[in-house]
Amino acid sequence: MRSSLAQNVGSYCIMVIIAVVTIAPFAWMLIASLHPSHGALPDPSHLAPKQWHWENYQEVLTMDATPFIRFLWNTLIVAVCVTLGQLLICALAGYGFARLQFRGRDLLFFLFIATMMIPTQVTMIPAFLEVRWFGWLNSYWALIMPGLSSAFGVFLMRQFFLTLPRELDDAARIDGCSEFGIFWRIAAPLSAPALATLGAFAFIATWTDFFWPLLVTSATEMRTLEVGLSLFKDAFGNTNWPLQMAAAVLVLIPVLLVFLFTQRYFIRGIALTGLKG
Amino acid sequence: MKDEGRKTGARQEVRGARYTDVRAPRAPRPAPRARSSTGWLFVLPAFVHLCVFVLFPIVFALILSFFRWDVLKPQKPFVGLHNYAVLFHDPLFWNALWNSTYYAIGSVPIGMAVALFVAILAHQKLRGVQLFRTIYYMPAVASSVATAMIWTFIYLPENGLLDWLLNAVGLKGAAQIDWLQSTVWAMPALIFMSIWTGLGPRMVLFLAGLTSIPEPLYEAAAVDGAGRWAAFRHITLPMLLPTTFFILVTSSISAFQVFTPVYMMTKGGPVRHTDVIGYHIYKVAWRQFHMGMASAESYLLFMVIFAVTLVQFKFVSARIDA
């Protein structure tokens, strides 16, 4: 018993140390963001500033070159649309692959899975040219359409639908329910946990995506939070770190909040698919 | 599975009976009135999307790589394998490939070892362990631009948190380093940050693997007098091999594609010492507008990733056979 107690204390100590290393960068960002702007670099020796400069946040939010409220609005529209689209399209396809028989099903499913191994760099250039031909650059279309479905989402939903008992749809079928009716009235309501998982993944992945929005937007009013933040960083370079950190805090808070409320779905989704999105 | 289909006499069932998924919990039972077209309708939206935004681009990228495709110039001549031939002698391309290899070799094994260690800790039945798991996962979901800014700030030579810490523990020499401006240290600095970011997802995958190891194995080992290290060496590690392999493959694939930290923190510098292939391709395509050349590079990157995955497969299957 004594050794097990010592062991537990040891485990806690190591876990706390690792947790401190994990959180320290965030904490230092938060503290630095409250130091006087336009002054000397925040000194780690005296952590807390003499005065807490909350007005840094106001200054960030009122910058003309980087309208963060507009970025937030863009990001929200894009993330919500992509999430809803993925929930519908991936759930439909996942259901088809898990529950229905059709010619070429297994080959098609293999095709979906195989595309997950293609590096982003391969598809980015043609996808960019395509979106340019469509005349979608600097529009919500460019930001939303490519995200509306994903092989990962199809895979996740299929894995989930495979675990649902089939007795329910047999009963519904005998009662004369159509395949879509079974999907919509029986399978979809039962798959709320899987949908929540996919929704959480899609929302956070879209919210924090940087590469694609960087490529397809150039007008300030169409930028997302991530790209907007990178513009903010470019504008200041290696100067005025308190303001830079305040901007980073503002961009981080929404996504960390979403994560805290949905974290159990993340863990479940990874366990279900063995993938991290 | 096939026999079952034949017994029910449903022809479509026999056709669809070759089931690719090893993890399918049960064989699909016949859906009496489902017609082939219904299934197609369900997957159609996803399939159309896949065609437009993934399959067509994959083919189109290959075609682009045979052209001198400059966005700004009207004529886009076919050049055959010229782009590939140029790349073969391009020191900047090889430099980028080498940097990506360095990054992958540095970040993946260490990151996995750290994640396995943390997963074993967080696998114990301790109060509040869920809170720790949540904390360890946070960097992975945080905005990558914001975390890149935070780490740039930490790595600053003047009043940077890292140099201040090194100074505090008495490492005066190391505390002088300007991490992101040093040709020697910029890459390790990026690698260290990637271990911090990647900890959560890798830990969760290892946790799933650890959960699947049957407890009686450890009890039997304890009865036989095996210590903790022996149990780890002879039970945990072999049983985790599929999980480890999976994490190794996916982590390597994403390590070869790293972009945001390099774009935000070093711009490939100092003197191209962190110019990784993901960033290099971006520059060729969107700074120099050589989309054909960049497509050729992306296909070569794809081949490298494919080869790395294949080698890892060979290595692991050899270990399983042994």
The pLDDT value recorded for residue B74 is: 82
The span from the CA of B240 to the CA of B33, in Å, is 43
Angle of CA points B74, B75, B76, to nearest 5°: 115
The pLDDT value recorded for residue A264 is: 79
Mind telling me how many Å the CA of A226 is from chain B's nearest CA?
6
ipTM metric: 0.89
pLDDT at residue B23 greater than cutoff 60:
no
Question: In chain A, whose CA is at the least distance from the CA of B259?
Answer: A211
Judged by DSSP in three states, A115 sits in helix
Start-end ranges of CATH 1.10.3720.10 in chain B? Answer: 90-321
The pLDDT value recorded for residue B5 is: 37
**Angle, helices B241-255/B186-211, rounded to nearest 10 degrees:** 150
pLDDT at residue B8 greater than cutoff 50:
no
Contact A121 B133 (CB under 8 A): no
pLDDT at residue B171 greater than cutoff 60:
yes
In a 13 Å sphere around the CA of A24, the CA atoms on its Cβ side amount to 18
Q: How many CB pairs under 8 A join A and B?
A: 297
Across A105-109, A268-272, B181-185, B238-242, least confident range: A268-272
8 A C-beta contact, residue B14 and residue B3: no
Angle of CA points B245, B247, B249, to nearest 5°: 70
Domain boundaries, chain A: 2-59, 65-273
Domain spanning B90-321: which superfamily?
MetI-like (1.10.3720.10)
Fold of A65-273: MetI-like fold (1.10.3720)
The span from the CA of B131 to the CA of B129, in Å, is 5
The pLDDT value recorded for residue B321 is: 63
Contacts of B138 in chain A (CB under 8 A): 22-23, 26, 256, 259
Contact A115 B50 (CB under 8 A): yes
The span from the CA of A49 to the CA of A42, in Å, is 8
Please give the C-alpha separations between residue B318 and each of A126, B22, B241, B242, B312, in angstroms, as whole numbers: 38, 21, 12, 13, 10
pLDDT at residue B150 greater than cutoff 50:
yes
The pLDDT value recorded for residue A270 is: 64
Report the residue of B153, B249, B293 to disrupt the A interface, i.e. the one with the largest count of A CBs within 10 Å: B153
Please give the C-alpha separations between residue A120 and each of A126, A128, B66, B169, in angstroms, as whole numbers: 11, 12, 19, 42
8 A C-beta contact, residue A18 and residue B122: no
Report the Cα A216 to chain-centroid distance in Å.
18
Give the pLDDT confidence of B116-135 residue by residue, as tens digits.
999 999 888 888 888 899 99
Phi-psi region of B67 (alpha: psi -120 to 50; beta: other; left: phi over 0): beta
Closest CA relative to residue A74, chosen from A216, A200, A196: A216
Low-confidence ranges of chain A (pLDDT < 70): 1-3, 268-277
Question: In chain B, whose CA is at the least distance from the CA of A11?
Answer: B121
Q: pLDDT-derived band of residue B318, with 50, 70 and 90 as boundaries? A: confident
The pLDDT value recorded for residue A273 is: 62
The pLDDT value recorded for residue B33 is: 47
Choice between B321 and A66, residue whose per-residue pLDDT is larger = A66
Give the pLDDT confidence of B206-225 residue by residue, as tens digits.
988 888 888 888 888 888 88
Contacts of B132 in chain A (CB under 8 A): 15, 18-19
pLDDT at residue B1 greater than cutoff 60:
no
In a 13 Å sphere around the CA of B25, the CA atoms on its Cβ side amount to 12
The pLDDT value recorded for residue B47 is: 96
Contact A117 B253 (CB under 8 A): yes
Q: pLDDT-derived band of residue B46, with 50, 70 and 90 as boundaries? A: very high
Q: What's the whole-model pTM score?
A: 0.86
Contact A117 B118 (CB under 8 A): no
Contact A102 B142 (CB under 8 A): no
pLDDT at residue B64 greater than cutoff 90:
yes
The span from the CA of A213 to the CA of A137, in Å, is 10
